Amino acid sequence: MEFGRGGPVWLLGSAVAMLLLLVGDLYLVRAGDIVHDDKSAPKKPGCENEFVLVKVQTWVDGQESIEFVGVGARFGKKIVSKEKIANRTPLSLSNPRDCCSMPKAKLAGDALVVDRGNCKFTAKTNNAEAAGASAILIINNQKDLYKMICDPDETDVDIKIPAIMLPQDAGPTLEKMLTNSSSVSVQLYSPKRPEADIAEVFLWLIAVGTILCASYWSAWSAREAAIEQDKQMKDDGDEIIAGKAECGTGVIEISTVSAVFFVVIASCFLIVLYKLMSSWFLELLVVLLCIGGIEGLQTCLVALLSRWFKEQGKSYVKVPLFGAVSYLTLAVSPFCIAFAVLWAVKRNASFAWVCQDILGIALIITVLQIVRVPNLKVGTVLLGCAFLYDIFWVFLSKKLFHESVMIAVARGDKSGEDGIPMLLKIPRMFDPWGGYSIIGFGDIILPGLLIAFSLRYDWLANKNLQAGYFLWAMFAYGLGLLATYVALNLMDGHGQPALLYIVPFILGTFLSLGWKRGDLEVLWTQGEPDRPCQHVLLHSSTYKLEMND
């Protein structure tokens, strides 16, 4: 937290922020998607349906009741997409329950509820169709859904009723409905997702706006530090070294070695997450996000409020373990802690995404304020390594782990939860399936480090927006993120690593502009324009005056 910038709690908050960044470089998805096309289940005649989510709306004694979500099979009749043309059919239990033999009672177009196991999915569906069923609902023996496919030896599949798998907990609920009610009916339909959702627009604006705010704060701090350093040079040339040391307080500069090492550590931590992913491990990540969010929210609020309450921001009191703490910090700390605790306790509530985004944005802005790349060389190495990191862990890791490690971690496949919390998310507003559009912290922070560097350079070089690099870097980031959303929609919901598109846009813009303007060498090595040494100018002027006398 903001206890004297450099105290033990600030160091803890900085460490947590970097740890969250390690797991926050996630691919961008529309949360709630399923993979519609699965190459491990090849299509063949009679078994070539896409895997789609299916809504199973129930009615009990004529009253609308619970809605379940299942997944359609590779075989069988395709499910209609519009609710208004979906037929409402009676529901009944299979006897025998597994439907591995012909049901004992003839069915008059009922939808049949059967248990999974003891025979092939196609055998169950054929028996149900022969008995007169209009659809078959197979209850899984596990919590998750399962994609029903045809066996390799099945070459001539001709099933004319839809088959849907429902999760395990749907079985007892449906059985209770059928036992306690005079009539139960269902309606099956699979509404299509819209090509795009306004949530993606808002998420784009949040990502761009967060980098914009963080860059201006970082550049403002760098300019104030440069002014202070110039003052010290004018007052006494011997204090230059001390002035530089003071400017570095509370700022972490990334080196080329640490940029490479960072991605290696991120890969190791991603594997740990993949192997240890569970509900208790997610709870640990929630605690870490709370600590980092409290640090970030407090830092932002203190910086903002200190412009109106200058005296309180400059007045300090000693606190055990924390050292000197401003009165303004003491005033905002309880609010920040309460806000983070509220999110942690209510993180599954409908409004929790707002709290999570506020904590995440504050944390991202704080990280971009305290972590800096000194030049274009370090920024290129960092983003280049992150680019390869994204490609490997999203696409190539399937060859080693039989699934995409980053996708599994981001969705929390082994935890029973909705995924890790190190991301910004917005509910999809016009999507019949709900879910969220999400983006990882790293997809904002890593490009943001180079964009913030560009604005610091522009200000120190006295460049306007058009002649500088910041405007073009922001434009490149916005285009890269937009390209990610376009690819996401073109790939029919398959998760896309945002840095795969963002990094080429940003680095290409920086390198081409720097080369064209002749600034590339300075940007690459120094990272800031040459400035006259004030104490040398001062001594030179004094010497000239003495000669004139």
Q: Which of 110, 115, 197, 390 is catalytic?
A: 390
- Give exposure, 349-360, as e/b (b: 16+ Cβ within 10 Å): eeebbebbbbbb
Ranges of the chain with pLDDT below 50: 1-13, 26-37, 238-249, 533-549
Q: What is the CA angle 413-418-423, rounded to 5?
A: 110
**Known catalytic membership, residue 236:** no
**Known catalytic membership, residue 443:** yes
Rounded CA-CA distance 258/527 in Å is 17
Q: What is the pLDDT of residue 4?
A: 41
Q: What is the pLDDT of residue 240?
A: 44
Q: What is the pLDDT of residue 537?
A: 39
With residue 81 as reference, give the H or E element that holds it: none
**Segment 480-499, tens digit of pLDDT:** 999 988 887 777 656 678 89
User: 40: exposed, middle or buried (C-beta count within 10 Å: 0-12, 13-18, 19+)?
Assistant: exposed
Q: Are strands 252-253 and 111-115 parallel, antiparallel or unpaired?
A: unpaired
Q: Which of 25, 197, 431, 443 is catalytic?
A: 443
Residues 6 or more apart whose Cβ sits within 8 Å of residue 26: 406, 409, 410, 420, 422, 423, 438, 439, 440, 441, 442, 443
Strand partners, 111: 91, 135
And the tokens for 513? 């502009």
Rounded CA-CA distance 4/13 in Å is 13
Please give the single-letter amino acid code of residue 296.
Answer: G
Of 131, 180, 120, nearest to 153 by C-alpha is 120
Q: What is the pLDDT of residue 464?
A: 86
Q: What is the pLDDT of residue 461?
A: 87
Rounded CA-CA distance 454/476 in Å is 12
Rounded CA-CA distance 216/453 in Å is 10
CB 372 within 8 A of CB 219: no
**DSSP H helical segments within 236-351, as ranges?**
240-247, 256-276, 279-305, 310-314, 327-345
And the tokens for 158? 């001709």
